[in-house]
Structure 1
Amino acid sequence: MVNAITPFQLQNTQNTQNVTNQLNQSQKTDSSNQTSFSELLKNSIDSLNESQVQSDHITNDLAAGKDVNLDEVMITAQKANISLTAATEFRNKAVEAYQEIMRMQM
Structure 2
Amino acid sequence: MRSLTNVSPEQSQGLGRIDRSLDHASGQTVSGSGFAETLGGALQKVDQMQTAADVQAEKVAMGGGNLHEMSLALEKADVSMRLAMKVRNKLVEAYQEIMRMSV
TM-score (norm 1): 0.67
Q: Which runs of 4+ in 1 moved over 3 A?
A: 30-33
Q: Which amino acid aligns with 1:89?
A: K
- The structure with the greater share of residues assigned to helix is 1
**Structure 1 position 82 matched with structure 2 position 79:** yes
Q: Which residue in 2 is equivalent to 1:64?
A: 62
Q: 1:34-87: CA deviations, max 9, x gaps?
A: 111111111111111000000000101101111x22111101100000000000
How far the C-alpha of 1:33 sits from its partner, in A, is 3.2
Name the count of aligned residue pairs: 76
Q: Which amino acid aligns with 2:86?
A: E
Consecutive unaligned residues of structure 2, counting only runs of 5 or more, are 1-27
Q: Which residue in 2 is equivalent to 1:95?
A: 92
SS across alignment from 1:33: coil
TM-score (norm 2): 0.69
Q: Which residue in 1 is equivalent to 2:48?
A: 50
Structure with max Cα Rg: 1
How far the C-alpha of 1:32 sits from its partner, in A, is 6.7
